[in-house]
């Protein structure tokens, strides 16, 4: 899975300087709208050591209203926390309605560090997958927007960043012997990460893999993902979006599904596989319902919703898909 991620993606400095101010302003407006609508959000950052989680979070929070979010840097459970169910300490950190909770590392430590370093037994970390999915399903059903990022870099890139940090007297403290130990186990961690992504990527809590070699690309992709998910939440509640540009993604040909009122549970799986227009979905449905059911996360209920949505666009059904159209 991770070996197929294109780690060469980058963004020019000129484009970055143009887009970031707009994205930060848009996110601030959406924070206010979600606050007014009592829609809570959980944004969690996982990724390789030195992948840029801290700097990305720093940029993200600079423009947010500090009264509306809380940031948690997750460490090893304290002694008294170990005497409680393992997710208990995370339940205490969930946001109030309308607020945002940002996690620098999270409950996924149970199936990553605790698994690879054998801090948890096999029974504990295997049970952790079910606990996590149920936990996220519960808070999502209560109206919480769950946004999850995995920041991905290669083993070689991680080594270069460690060495660069060690040469800087002001930054060398970031790299400890423990970090080099994790680096030596890169392949073991990759196995655990891929299983984590596979078993906990859900309709209500989809993962976004961020190609983290280029820092400008990382920050823009994170902003765009958060903005898109918050806009989807407002649409699901049939609430107006704040004034301004509602869509941060490049324009595509055709009628965008994002503007047709699909629920997040129907729209998100389509989005993850690149089906973003009604024309694309109609062309796939022309091959039979089973083709759409092959998309991970699409069940009979979502299929019925999607068919009802695109059927309202009668002209689309009458036009044959062009040759080569996906």
Domains annotated for the chain, with CATH where assigned, are: 2-236 (3.40.50.300), 257-318 (1.10.150)
C-beta separation of 223 from 24 below 8 A: yes
How many whole angstroms separate alpha carbon 121 and alpha carbon 110?
10
Paired residues of 277 in beta bridges: 256
Q: Using DSSP, state whether 152 is helix, strand or coil.
A: strand
* Encoded tokens for 309: 């949505």
Measure the CA angle with vertex 317, ends 315 and 319; round to 5°.
Answer: 70
Whose structure tokens read 């649409």? 235
* Per-residue DSSP letter, 62: H
* Predicted TM-score of the model (pTM): 0.75
* Per-residue DSSP letter, 2: G
Query: pLDDT tens digits for the chain (326 residues)?
Result: 788 889 999 999 999 999 999 999 999 999 999 999 999 999 999 999 999 999 999 999 998 999 999 999 999 999 999 999 999 999 999 999 999 999 999 999 999 999 999 999 999 999 999 999 999 999 999 999 999 999 999 999 999 999 999 998 888 888 888 999 999 999 999 999 999 999 999 999 999 999 999 999 999 999 999 999 999 999 999 999 987 654 444 434 456 676 566 777 787 788 777 777 787 888 888 888 888 888 888 888 888 888 887 776 544 333 333 333 33
Number of other CB atoms surrounding residue 120 within 10 Å: 19
Sheet holding 207-211, edge to edge: 69-73, 100-104, 41-47, 145-152, 207-211
C-beta separation of 97 from 38 below 8 A: yes
Q: 215-236 and 264-272 helices cross at what angle (nearest 10)? A: 150
- Cβ neighbors of 49 (< 8 A, separation 6 or more) are 158, 162, 179, 182, 183
Element (H, E) at 212: none
How many whole angstroms separate alpha carbon 264 and alpha carbon 38?
17
How many whole angstroms separate alpha carbon 207 and alpha carbon 270?
14
- Residue 225's alpha-carbon distances to 231, 249, 258, in angstroms, are 10, 9, 13
C-beta separation of 136 from 94 below 8 A: no
């Amino acid at each position: 899975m991770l070996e197929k991620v294109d780690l060469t993606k980058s963004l020019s400095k000129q484009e970055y300087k143009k887009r970031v101010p707009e994205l930060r302003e848009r996110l601030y407006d959406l924070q206010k709208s979600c606050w007014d609508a009592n829609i809570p959000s959980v944004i969690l950052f996982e990724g390789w050591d030195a992948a840029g989680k801290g700097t990305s979070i720093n940029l993200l929070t600079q423009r947010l209203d500090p009264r509306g979010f809380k940031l948690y840097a997750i460490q090893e459970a304290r002694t008294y926390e170990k005497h409680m169910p393992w997710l208990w300490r995370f339940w205490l950190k969930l946001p109030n309605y309308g607020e945002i909770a940002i996690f620098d590392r999270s409950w996924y430590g149970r199936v990553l560090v605790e698994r690879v370093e054998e801090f948890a037994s096999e029974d504990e970390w295997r049970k952790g997958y079910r606990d996590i999915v149920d936990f996220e399903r519960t808070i999502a059903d209560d109206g919480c927007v769950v946004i999850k990022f995995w920041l991905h870099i290669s083993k070689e890139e991680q080594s270069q960043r460690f060495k660069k940090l060690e040469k800087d007297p002001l930054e060398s403290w970031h790299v400890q012997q423990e970090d080099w130990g994790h680096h030596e186990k890169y392949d073991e961690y990759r196995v655990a990460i891929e299983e984590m992504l596979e078993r906990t990527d859900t309709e209500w809590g989809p993962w976004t893999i961020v190609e983290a070699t280029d820092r400008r690309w990382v920050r823009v992709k994170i902003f765009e993902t958060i903005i898109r998910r918050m806009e989807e939440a407002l649409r699901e509640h049939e609430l107006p979006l704040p004034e301004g540009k509602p869509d941060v993604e490049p324009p595509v040909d055709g009628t965008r599904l994002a503007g047709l009122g699909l629920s997040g549970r129907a729209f998100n799986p389509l989005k993850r596989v690149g089906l973003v227009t009604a024309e694309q979905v109609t062309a796939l449905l022309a091959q039979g319902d089973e083709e759409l059911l092959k998309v991970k996360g699409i069940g009979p209920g979502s299929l019925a919703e999607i068919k009802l949505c695109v059927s309202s666009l009668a002209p689309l059904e009458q036009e044959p898909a062009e040759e080569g159209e996906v």
